[in-house]
Amino acid sequence: MSRIGWLAGAASVLVATSVFAGAENVVFPKDYKDTFQVVSVRDHHLGGNSIAVIWANKVAIDSVKKKELDSGAIFLMEVWRAKTENNEVVRDAKGRLVRDVVNGINIMEKRTGWGAEYPAEWRNGNWEYAIFTADGAPRTGNLQGCFECHGPLGAAGYDFAYVVGEMREPGAGAGAM
For the chain, what are the domain ranges? 22-163
Mean pLDDT lowest among 54-68, 93-107, 158-172: 158-172
Q: What is the pTM of this model?
A: 0.75
Give me the pLDDT at residue 3, please.
Answer: 45
Percent share of the chain, pLDDT over 90:
42
DSSP strand E in the chain: where? 37-43, 50-56, 74-82, 84-85, 88-89, 99-110, 127-132, 138-139
In the three-class reduction of DSSP (H, G, I as helix; E, B as strand; rest coil), residue 25 is classed as helix
The pLDDT of residue 152 is 62
Question: pLDDT for 93-125, tens place per residue?
Answer: 999 999 999 999 999 999 998 877 777 777 777
The answer, yes or no, to whether residue 69 has pLDDT greater than 50, is: yes
The tally of CA atoms less than 13 A away on the side-chain side of residue 66 is 12
Q: What is the DSSP letter of 128?
A: E
Please tell me the least confidently modeled range out of 36-40, 49-53, 69-73, 160-164: 160-164
Q: Which amino acid is at 169?
A: E
The CATH code for residues 22-163 is 3.50.70.20
Query: What's the rounded Cα separation, in Å, for the pair 107 and 144?
Result: 14
Number of H helices and E strands in the chain, helices first, is 5, 8
Q: Judge whether residue 31 has pLDDT over 70.
A: yes
pLDDT band at 159 (very low <50, low <70, confident <90, very high): low
Contacts 24+ apart (CB under 8 A), 30-34: 30/136, 32/57, 32/76
Q: What is the pLDDT of residues 2-18, one digit of tens each?
A: 444 433 333 333 333 33
Choice between 87 and 23, residue whose per-residue pLDDT is larger: 87
Q: Output the CA angle 96-101-103, nearest 5 degrees.
A: 105
Residues 64 and 158: their CA atoms lie apart, in Å, by: 10
- Rounded Cα distance between 78 and 133, Å, is 10
